[in-house]
Amino acid sequence: MTPPIEDTRSNASEDKDSITSEESSDHEGSTYSDGPYDPEDTIVLEMPDSILERIDLEPLKNLTEQEYADGHAPRFGKSNPEIVDVPFWSAMFAAQVDPYGAYVILQESHKFPNYNDVDDFWKPEPGNSTEKEGAEDQEQVSCTCPRRLPTWTFTKRFGQTMTQLPDGRLVFIGGEYDDYYDPDFHVYNDVCVYDANTTALSDANAFVVYCYPRDVFPPTDSHTATLVPGTSDIYVIGCMGYPDQRRPGETPVYRLDTRDFSMHPVETSGEKPGWISRHCACVVEDGTAIRVWGKKRRSFGSQVYVEGDEKQGDIVDFEGEYLLHLETGRWSRQA
């Protein structure tokens, strides 16, 4: 099953390998493998600027300063899941721009008297310093940059996955925006669902964002998202995440139930591949297991987190093949 719009972040469906974005020094490039599983048949595609055939800048231009202030930052959900209806997020999706592009549009709208120049958006926001004690109680997610909270974005997330459901909806999971030195750097744990059958981007059903408590679904990027044919389940395997998330020898696995978009951790056993990311995955022919593998691509490759001399360990190449048996949750390494 092929998405109507070619994307390089991820699609996992029947007879199709999962597509996982991968990063080089400049974050460009991703992998795509079509047809039956073949670890040597991987080609490189460029990440598109937009997954939409059309964009709508009006919602962003018409945004009020209060709507921006109330909803510009990422946040964790309070339930599993929580549907977050934020005008700024919907406007960002419709416009398909990154944070800097949004700043330019908002400045030109002349509705933001406190921001006379684009550079003003990069200044600290009173009371929103990421170093502020108790910032986690604000139900917003801080970045490592002390200047301000990051700006939520859907566009240009690296390591985000896209999976098409049988009804045509596109499910986008997690992803990372830019790098740690950027004030908008953030690793997301949300699930965004786009219904391409809607006639207008402003339709309330066109774009839905599901958020989760951090202990239910942590920030996740550079994973794979694999839809098991004949079920409503998308298996989210692996993650790069923040350094303090990584656990040597463990492999994060989550099951997203697309009937209600609740997220469920999957307990696994056996010979696990470790803290993998930037890998590939597909369902085996009989649908009983998910095959996971890694290989070198260009001058970089799939990665696995391992324990080393440093406190946070090392990142090395991930090679080999593993099967996750869905009925038992048992991992097995393939010869």
Interval 279-329: pLDDT, tens: 999 999 999 999 999 865 544 556 787 765 555 667 788 888 999 999 999
pLDDT digit string (tens) for 241-287? Answer: 998 898 888 999 999 999 999 999 999 999 999 999 999 999 999 99
Q: How far is CA 31 from CA 12, 43, 86, 118, in A?
A: 13, 6, 32, 35
Determine which of 131-145, 166-180, 183-197 has the lowest per-residue pLDDT on average: 131-145
Q: Show me where the domains of the chain are located.
A: 30-48+76-83+157-334
**Beta carbons of 5 and 26 less than 8 angstroms apart:** no
Q: Which 8-state DSSP code applies to residue 137?
A: G
Beta strands, E only, 59-103: 82-83
Q: Which residue has the tokens 């744990």?
A: 189
Would you say the C-alpha torsion 260, 264, 269, 274 has a positive or negative sign? Answer: positive
**Beta carbons of 307 and 315 less than 8 angstroms apart:** no
CA distance 335 to 164: 31
Residue 267 structure tokens:
């307990």
**Beta carbons of 16 and 3 less than 8 angstroms apart:** no
Would the pLDDT of 23 be above 50? no
| 269: Cα separation from own chain's centroid | 25
pLDDT digit string (tens) for 27-76? Answer: 322 222 333 333 333 322 333 456 666 788 999 999 888 888 888 899 99
CA distance 186 to 141: 8
Predicted pLDDT of residue 248: 84
DSSP, collapsed to helix, strand or coil, labels residue 102 as helix
Please tell me which residue, 266 or 131, carries the higher pLDDT value. Answer: 266
CA distance 157 to 185: 10
Predicted pLDDT of residue 69: 82
